[in-house]
Structure 1
Amino acid sequence: MSETAPYASKPEQSLGRLFGTGPSPTRSEFQRDRDRIIHSTAFRRLQHKTQVFLQHGGHFRNRLTHTLEVSQMARSIARALMLNEDLAEAVALSHDLGHTPFGHAGERALHLAMARYGGFDHNMQAIRVVTLLENRYAEHDGLNLTWETLEGILKHNGPMIDADGRPFGSYAREGLPSGIHDIQAVADLRLASFASLEAQAAAIADDVAYNAHDIDDALRAGLLALTDLLDVPMAGPIVREVRQLYPDVAPKRQAHEVQRRMITRSIEDVIRTTSANIAEAGVTSVEAVRNAGRTLVSFSPEMAQAEQGLKRFLLERVYRHETVMRPVRQSEAVVGDLFERYMTSRDLPGRWGDSARAAADDAALARVVADFIAGMTDPYALDEYERLFDARPEFR
């Protein structure tokens, strides 16, 4: 790997793993994390979990293809900033491991069902997956990832508490997720500090990927036409440019030209802005990054404003479109019904049924049920629904 900047994470300086492993002659510690994630069962399940569009097939993104796109973008950003590409990739590859079936609809339904038992948070669930629920290794549960990768998964969106220990950011309203203080790691995950630049790169790559591929999928689904984007922040100027350059090519090719330009300009903006932020903050180590007091990997103010405008447009015209919302409502009902049935019958298959029957109280049972449902693929959730209710929803 090429030389990295002083503020990049260094695998040879990693705080290590909960369970010791011998050194590898061919891979760094962060490369080993990446490989463990790719070979995990939870990672393979992403290919059958919804991103936005619940109809499988039709070349719409799923959680796996989204994750791979985020990973590629995170590596590109990390390379340009002379960060550790392998750590950025590991965080990107694992950032959605805790997502439920049926996209954010499933997450909302499971969070509502778990309200009495501490709620459900997909970042915290990803941590549960990589520290507890993956059970392939002979000597331990989980994937036994390095402290730096665990930190990146948990805090890639920023600190979880402020300096006084109060829930911070998105956690200020509902409090910290259940189990946050029970995470098994080799050292304290320092909830009040910022994560590494590599983790921040993975987080912003997630935004870039969402913006570009949700437009692409919406165009493919017929929910949008390129002309609908002409006055939309961020996308509009690019659409006009592409239509001027390629007036006679097929709309599908024009759409691809719009998407690739959106990705390129977003990433180039992040690289320019982040380089300036790093210079302004004067950080010279990864520890200084954690104590910088703000996120350093960011869009410029102009791009951030345009990106928020684009997100508002997508929320109104795509995410709330009846074609999307109809199966969303069905999928929320599936998750809610499964949860209630498992809670009353403890009728979970295999080892999950054993864990459910051994649960000491309703709270412990609810967490077993939530772990089981969160790990389902979309097709498996529908199979279970059919097994328990003798009916199978058809998402149309």
Structure 2
Amino acid sequence: MNIRERIEQQEYSLLSLYAAKSQEAKRNYREEPCEFRTAYQRDRDRIIHSKAFRRLKHKTQVYITPGDHYRMRMTHSLEVAQISRTIARGLLLNEDLTEAIALGHDVGHTPFGHAGEEALREIVGHYNHNEQSLRVVEYLEHEGRGLNLTLDVKDGILNHTGPNLPYTLEGNIVRIGDRIAYLCHDYDDGIRAGMIRPDDLPDRVTKVLGTKPSAMITSMVKDMIESSNGHNEISMSPEVQQAMHELREFMFAKIYRSPALEFDRKKAKFVVGKLFDFFMNSPDVLPQEFQNREQKWGLQTTVVDYIAGLSDLYAIQLFKKICIPSTWGGSD
């Protein structure tokens, strides 16, 4: 029995009846198993080593080009993974599956956060970052070959937001863990930015969750574990769920839709729109890798794939290159 087989057997003896088991994981294309990593561990490693994951360190969470101590998409994904693994461990569910979903859930996010997502949606009529995340791991990584992740991980990535729930409990943990992470950490960044203060919080949020980000996370994680323990469902108590809902409404009013950030959001959407127009009219300027995909996916989808993968700073550099005339030196 090798290391992987030993871990697979331990999952049956140690994990909950409701936990996903790595031995049962399926892929679209069969592969020889690894001697020491389970299928979910391999998925996690593939996501971490992907180019799309690396680019998250330069993609906006809320504040565009904010400074060293604010969250970016990569730090957000790591925080979602940490929160979700804590919940999975408390419920004796599969931590490796949970972590893989959490690390991969935002790899399809555009530059400039939700402003970039909204810009592409307005341009092409339909764009959602969760669907693009699935597209990244399924078709775009590894020069178009994809990562061949397990079906459980891909389902969790696709359904971490949107109308449909993941079919695994681990995926449902990430769906809620994502919300816990962005609400509490964006609240923390909002305080750092001087946009909100702890005493601005609604009374119910202060009473049920507290005013410190760490206390808020602890309250919601503890409640999820206690409410879900022994059940084939991930849930929260009505009291904590209502407090989380009010925190979310507060964050949308004070941060996500704040007039103070609106001008930067408009500028970000303008950049995305100009890049889209340029590459639609000049596809020969796209990197060769993307030019090679045009016949298979069509020009519009190829341009969307390219723009969605850009980091904030690279998108700005491209915009300057194609929209701002160069200055020439020389004597009069």
Residue number in structure 1 paired with 2:196: 224
Preserved CA contact (<8 Å) 1:347 1:353: no
Between Structure 1 and Structure 2, how many residues are aligned?
315
- Tell me which of 196, 202, 226 is aligned to 2:168: 196
Secondary structure of the corresponding residue to residue 235 of structure 1? helix
Mapped partners of 1:350, 1:238: distance in 2: 48
Q: How does 1:41-80 map to 2 (within 5 A)?
A: 41-80=51-90
Residue deviations 1:71-117, cap 9 Å, x none? 001101110111000000000000001100000000000011111xx
Residue number in structure 1 paired with 2:225: 271
Kindly tell me: are residues 235 and 62 of structure 1, through their superposed partners in 2, closer, same or farther at Cα, counting changes over 3 Å?
farther
Q: How does 1:130-169 map to 2 (within 5 A)?
A: 130-135=137-142, 141-157=145-161, 160=164
Q: How does 1:365-376 map to 2 (within 5 A)?
A: 365-376=299-310
Mapped partners of 1:75, 1:90: distance in 2: 10
Secondary structure of the corresponding residue to residue 19 of structure 2? coil
- Tell me which of 17, 21, 30 is aligned to 1:10: 21
Counterpart residue type for residue 312 of structure 2: D
Residue number in structure 2 paired with 1:252: none
Counterpart residue type for residue 152 of structure 1: G
For normalisation by structure 1, the TM-score amounts to: 0.75
Mapped partners of 1:101, 1:339: distance in 2: 13
Counterpart residue type for residue 20 of structure 1: R
Residue number in structure 2 paired with 1:82: 92
Residue number in structure 2 paired with 1:335: 272
Preserved CA contact (<8 Å) 2:209 2:243: no
Residue number in structure 2 paired with 1:242: none
Preserved CA contact (<8 Å) 2:130 2:161: no
TM-superposed deviation, 1:260: 0.8
Q: How does 1:11-50 map to 2 (within 5 A)?
A: 11-14=22-25, 16-50=26-60
Secondary structure of the corresponding residue to residue 234 of structure 1? helix
1:233 aligns with 2:208: no
Mapped partners of 1:300, 1:62: distance in 2: 30
Mapped partners of 2:177, 2:312: distance in 1: 25
Counterpart residue type for residue 299 of structure 1: M
TM-superposed deviation, 1:344: 1.8
TM-superposed deviation, 1:326: 1.5
Mapped partners of 1:324, 1:54: distance in 2: 9
Mapped partners of 1:40, 1:148: distance in 2: 19
1:379 aligns with 2:317: no
Residue number in structure 2 paired with 1:301: 238
Kindly tell me: are residues 355 and 71 of structure 1, through their superposed partners in 2, closer, same or farther at Cα, counting changes over 3 Å?
same
- Tell me which of 344, 351, 360 is aligned to 2:281: 344
The structure carrying a bigger helix percent of its residues is 2
- Tell me which of 286, 297, 316 is aligned to 2:253: 316
Kindly tell me: are residues 391 and 378 of structure 1, through their superposed partners in 2, closer, same or farther at Cα, counting changes over 3 Å?
farther
Residue number in structure 1 paired with 2:106: 96
TM-superposed deviation, 1:321: 2.2
Mapped partners of 2:214, 2:240: distance in 1: 16
TM-superposed deviation, 1:234: 1.7
TM-superposed deviation, 1:32: 0.6
Preserved CA contact (<8 Å) 1:88 1:202: yes
Secondary structure of the corresponding residue to residue 204 of structure 2? coil
Mapped partners of 1:156, 1:316: distance in 2: 23
Mapped partners of 1:55, 1:49: distance in 2: 9
Preserved CA contact (<8 Å) 1:61 1:217: yes
TM-superposed deviation, 1:334: 0.7
Mapped partners of 1:79, 1:345: distance in 2: 50
Secondary structure of the corresponding residue to residue 127 of structure 2? coil
Mapped partners of 1:84, 1:78: distance in 2: 6
Preserved CA contact (<8 Å) 1:159 1:195: no
Mapped partners of 2:325, 2:258: distance in 1: 26
User: 5+ unaligned residues in a row in structure 2: which ranges?
Assistant: 1-6, 327-332
1:124 aligns with 2:128: no
Q: Percent identity?
A: 41
Preserved CA contact (<8 Å) 1:352 1:372: no
Counterpart residue type for residue 252 of structure 2: L
Residue number in structure 2 paired with 1:186: none
Residue number in structure 1 paired with 2:3: none
TM-superposed deviation, 1:18: 2.2
Residue deviations 1:46-67, cap 9 Å, x none? 0000000113324110000000
Residue deviations 1:143-177, cap 9 Å, x none? 111111112112234764xxxxxxxxxxxxxxxxx
Mapped partners of 1:129, 1:351: distance in 2: 18
Mapped partners of 1:352, 1:336: distance in 2: 22
Residue deviations 1:299-319, cap 9 Å, x none? 211111111111111111122
Counterpart residue type for residue 372 of structure 1: Y
Residue deviations 1:240-276, cap 9 Å, x none? xxxxxxxxxxxxxxx7xx1111000010111111126
